[in-house]
Structure 1
Amino acid sequence: MTVLDAKSQIDQLRTRILDLIASGELGQAGKLPTERALSNRFRVGRGYVRQALDALEADRLIWRHQGKGTFVGQPADPIGDLAARVAGQTNALEVMEARLCIEPELAALCAKRMQRHEVEALRKQAQQQLEAKDAQAIELWDGALHRHIAQCARNRPLLAAFSMLDKIRCDPDWVSIRAKTRTPSSLEVTHGEHLKVITEIEAGHVEGARTAMKDHLTTRFDALLADFDARPQSEPNADFLRQTLRPAGPT
């Protein structure tokens, strides 16, 4: 087999593993099957499986824990994991307010600290989200991009705060709400906004990166609120939407 053929097979395998992740089959823990199990499932050599997993790990879509296995996403920050207990006591409005406080500052710090190869990874994640074929894959790549920015800001207290918000955002009900607000045209807007954030970070423009991230999050929040306002009160999950997209009123 030529080098080109091997690369094609690894790319195809990588796509099939991504499809497995997006299918929801892995459950809440997000643990992938072993290399041997993936090799048997897809009928390829374990060497190809390992290289496909290496590529996914480089994209920050999976992480490995020696002796425990391979998992979707990135390892949870212990402080963020503890703080995520507030998930059942908050709503999407509060979460977005918190994101607007935290993520623009993370982007600003990235403009000071991000390395060139890390910026290239951001561009790849943004392009993969644009080309994604289904809602799960779109959310997967969107989360990877924002998580990458949070990690490359290299500020552990802010990363812990981001980890809490990220855990809440990954709840399946919250994912489904966001997915309903995405259209082909809105994805083009999101892609353009992501590229603006990345360009400002790459140029080292601290204030520009901060503003670009704030503008991006504001666009998404406005889309959530518009979708909520357009839904009929009789919709089966209207109560859940009211609880998550609006703050509780006075008692």
Structure 2
Amino acid sequence: MMGLSAPSNRVREQVLALIKSGEWAAQGKLPTERALADRFDVGRRHVRQALDALENEGLVWRKQGKGTFLGQPADPMGDLAAKITGETNALEVMEARLCIEPELAALCAHRITDDELARLRHLMQRQFEAGDAQATELWDGAFHRLIAQCARNRPLLTAFALLDKIRSNATWVSIRAKARDGASLAVTHSEHLAIVDAIALGHADAARQAMRDHLDTRFKALQGEIAALASAEDRKFFAADVDT
């Protein structure tokens, strides 16, 4: 990654690999900087720089005096999301995303900074280059999360965080992974590029439409996967209206 020394970038890649492996998923917290430095046999400065990079990418967050944690800070909507997960389905969540994320993209087009735009392009490329389903999910989530954050609208961000928490359900993640293949990933990259280009130009209407087009593509792919693979019981859980 640009801006990191070779040792710091190596630590970043090692930490990223461990995040993807799920080693720290249960506790949601990374070891201390000292422990990571000992594990990777580097100075703490390199660990700190690597964690800075991962934090900028939206993959970890830190709280002074508490440590470094996976993902994003807990949102008060987390408990609500856990309750709603059992009362909704994947297609309803996609419908809600189609209502919210195009507007987030439009606001982002007016409010994103140059540094944030560079990060967004980096996340887009990482998602395209991801070598497995878990990495694809990781980078795709970070890409959409950064757009939501850069919209700088707290109520909309809270709504997005609620949906993001719901869609992190492991079974739903596996269904989304099955709906992706080489061709669909190429389409996703093209659609992500259209979103980023519109945001970069400050064209809110174009960013809104590009996000809507992208989510509509994923919505249709999800419908097809559920209809093709889900059992009758799964279909009831994931989508009450798979034939619509």
Q: Normalising by the residue count of structure 2, what TM-score does the alignment of the two structures yield?
A: 0.92
Give the residue type in structure 2 aligned to 1:162. Answer: F
Counterpart amino acid of residue 81 in structure 1: G
Residues in 2 aligned to 1:240 and 1:28: alpha-carbon distance in whole angstroms: 26
Stretches (4+) displaced over 3 A: none
Aligned to 1:246: 240
Structure 2 match to 1:194: 192
**Separation (CA, whole Å) in 2 of partners of 1:190 and 1:112:** 23
Alignment of 1:140 with 2:138, yes or no, is yes
2:16 is the alignment partner of 1:21 = no
Question: What's 2:175 paired with?
Answer: 177
Residues in 2 aligned to 1:38 and 1:225: alpha-carbon distance in whole angstroms: 43
Aligned to 2:7: 9
Structure-to-structure mapping, 1:40-189, within 5 angstroms: 40-78=38-76, 80-84=77-81, 85-189=83-187
Shift of 1:193: 0.5
Per the TM alignment, residue 115 of structure 1 is displaced from its structure 2 partner at its CA by: 1.4
> How far apart, CA to CA, are the structure 2 residues paired with 1:211 and 1:81?
29
Q: Distance in 1 between matches of 2:204 and 2:73?
A: 27
Contact 1:76 1:163 in 2 (8 A): no
Are the structure 2 counterparts of residues 105 and 200 from structure 1 closer, same or farther at C-alpha, using a change threshold of 3 Å? same
Equivalent pairs counted in the alignment come to 240
Which AA in structure 2 matches 1:75? Answer: P
Q: Structure 1 CA distance, aligned partners of 2:120 and 2:69?
A: 20
Aligned pairs (5 A) from 1:30-41: 30-41=28-39
Please name the residue that 2:216 is paired with. Answer: 218
Distance 2:43 2:115 in 1: 30
Partners of 1:232 and 1:72 in 2: CA distance: 31
The CA distance in 1 between the partners of 2:52 and 2:224, in whole Å, is 40
Q: Do the aligned residues in 2 keep the contact of 1:91 with 1:247 (CA within 8 Å)? A: no
Q: Name the residue aligned to 1:205.
A: 203
Unmatched 5+ stretches in structure 1: none
Whole-Å separation in 1 of the counterparts to 2:116 and 2:228: 39
Provide the secondary structure at the position in 2 that maps to 1:143.
Answer: helix
Looking at structure 2, the residues matched to 25 and 60 of structure 1 have their Cα atoms a distance apart, in angstroms, of 18
Could you tell me how far 1:60 is from its partner in structure 2?
1.6
Structure 1 residue 241: Cα displacement: 4.4
In the alignment, the residues of structure 2 paired with residue 170 and residue 240 of structure 1 have an alpha-carbon distance, to the nearest angstrom, of 17
Comparing 82-91 with 58-67, greater Cα deviation is found at 82-91
* Partner-residue secondary structure (3-state), 2:5: helix
Q: Deviations over 1:9-67 (max 9, x none)?
A: 22121111111111112124421111122122222222211111111111121100122
Gaps of 5+ in 2: none
1:188 deviation in Å? 1.0
What's the CA shift for 1:152?
A: 0.6
1:145-179 CA-to-partner distances (Å, cap 9, x unmatched) read: 10101111011100110010000111211111111
Tell me, in whole angstroms, the C-alpha distance in 2 between the residues paired with 1:241 and 1:33. 40
Identity of aligned residues (%): 59
Alignment CA distance shift 1:240-1:229 (3 Å): closer
- TM-score of the two chains, using structure 1 as the length reference: 0.89
Q: Contact between 1:126 and 1:191, CA under 8 Å: does it hold in 2?
A: yes
The CA distance in 1 between the partners of 2:59 and 2:36, in whole Å, is 17
Q: How far apart, CA to CA, are the structure 2 residues paired with 1:116 and 1:246?
A: 43
Q: Aligned partners of 1:165 and 1:193: how far apart in 2?
A: 21
Q: Which amino acid aligns with 2:25?
A: G
